[in-house]
Structure 1
Amino acid sequence: MSNEELTVPSALTAGQMPLRARWDAQFALAVLAAVLTTALTAVSFWPSFEALHDLATAHRLHGERAWAWPATVDAFIAIGELLILRASLAHRVDWAAITLTAVGSLGSIALNVAGVGVSHDPLDYVTAAVPPVAALLAFGVLMRQVHDFLVSRQPVVTTPLMPVIAPGPAVQESLESVAPEPVEETVHTPVDEPEVTEEPEPVTEPEQPSGEPTQRERMDLVVRRLYDDLGNRRPGTRHIRQALADAELPNSDGTCREARKRVETAEPHLRDLPDALAA
């Protein structure tokens, strides 16, 4: 099968940003988001550490011990989030990591609020609770970005299409010689009996010349290439319908879903890719 037959029609990318430019823009935005999230995580942990340090100082811990004590609470958040990330990459749920993160987060929030003491202004308690909550959310977002980056770096293995080749004349003659000859039977039919006609066979897709992909194979190829064009993301029905329409192929919603199902059945790892946003 030639390379021209495996090329998606140029109309698929008409009017769209080139793939290289889109990838560069996505990478720049991902780096900026990671930097800002890292800064937000550090800033969120800082007031939480300060509040827990003041609480430790007020209860007989001083100097280095007062600064080390907050780590016994807030470090559970970081450890639990990292274990959750590891479990997510392994496609499983780690309830111990979730419990660890929850205990660390609730403990940090409770201790920050308890450090306020007795106050008649509710905003004092809100101010004390915001840093540990922000630290939990910011670190969770950062781990999500790390997860997406690691998933996008996994190698994608494609399965080449196997064209159906009709058997040659020699093979056909060999099969005909092996097939048993039909046994002729004499059937006496009354003259006045009406002629019985056979039911028509279901209409199937016409056979393609040797080496040419069928219509279904062309549809699967167009859908499979969408995963690469979208930056290793799972295309939605709208993406598939537009791509099939550009390739002048059937593009109903049911056809789009069936084509994506066939592609992901052949390559199960594609189901785990993050979904692409509908255009």
Structure 2
Amino acid sequence: MGWKKPRTSPTPTGPWYARLATSAGRPAVLAATLIMSMPGEYHVAKFAGWSDPWAYGMPFSLSAYAGIAAVVAATRPKGARGRFSATVGAAFAIVLALAAQVVAHLVNTGHMNQDQAWLIAVTSMVPPAVLAHLLHLAATPTTTTAEAAPGAPVVVERVVPPVEAPPVPPKPAQAPQLPAATPAEAQPPALPAEQQPAIRYADPRCAIIRPLYEDGFRPTTGEMKAALEAANLTAPGASTLRGTLRKEIEEHEPALAALPQRPSPLHRAG
């Protein structure tokens, strides 16, 4: 069985009033903020020279613009064309909405004069700028930059099946006991080679390293590594070769641990 991703609940957990505030509170807050923002945006449009009923279009333009830009920025995948533009547009819509509220309240409280050329010019540019940006978002494709364009060559990745490890050679029979430092007559008679019980290693790689003991020396790290690589197996680190594989072999046959270390080429030369 493969690993399955745990399912997550689409609804928030917690007390019923917390779930109610999350599900029903968001649309209520959205409606309240839109209603509270409409008078300020309406008055700014009136300051710029729009008459009724055209001045009522300013709140809907800013609110719809902010909502559409925010949704496009949130739904388009990362790297898709138009995502950055939608993010900038959403931030610009928020700035316009905030500025409209601030200007309207400053004028209504007498802290600012509504007959200013820059205020009328900036407010007059809002509807055409909103329209141009929304058309730009609508005409921008949603494909990401990583996707191939129409007519471009398609690169097909070759899937290489995993290479299975070669079968492990059969486990060798137990080697005869080496003579100990006791009189020969005290040693029990050894069984013939064909009657020796087979050894079951916990790690099958031990069966590949075991023949290295036949020449009367304990195998070195390099010899064990070379034997595994010759069998098309990946050789582990030195600590695993000596502390795990060689240790298991010598636990089954304690006499092998008493064998001398193989002399180095320098020692053999001397």
Shorter-chain TM-score bucket reads 0.3 to 0.5
Q: TM-score, normalised by structure 1?
A: 0.32
The answer to which structure, 1 or 2, has the higher relative contact order (CA under 8 A, 6+ apart) is 1
Q: TM-score, normalised by structure 2?
A: 0.33
